[in-house]
Amino acid sequence: MQRAYLASTRALSGLLVVVGVAMFVSALARGGGALAVGVILGTLFALLGIGRLWLARGGRR
């Protein structure tokens, strides 16, 4: 059960990173500036996913 939880956490975290990067790139491709909603939310999604992946593997240890 623990392995399934870890695997799903990693999969969803990776999905957050992919969605965040896609939002970021899409916003820039459509002419958005540094403060465009897509850029800000994309960056936050990607950072959230990276943070969850980092915590899932044990943080600093």
Query: What's the confidence (pLDDT) of residue 19?
Result: 98
Contact 48, 5 (CB under 8 A): no
Q: Is the pTM of this model over 0.85?
A: yes
Does the residue 30 lie in any domain? yes
Cα–Cα distance for residue pair 11/26, rounded to 1 Å: 22
If one counts the domains in the chain, the total is 1
Domain that holds residue 16: 2-56
Cα–Cα distance for residue pair 25/30, rounded to 1 Å: 9
Write 55-59 long-range contacts (CB < 8 A, 24+): 56/6, 56/9, 56/10, 56/13
The model's pLDDT over 2-60, given as tens digits with 9 standing for 90+, comes to 889 989 999 999 999 999 999 999 999 999 998 999 999 999 999 999 999 999 888 77
User: How many helices and strands, by DSSP H and E, does the chain display?
Assistant: 2, 0
Query: What's the confidence (pLDDT) of residue 61?
Result: 67
Does the residue 61 lie in any domain? no
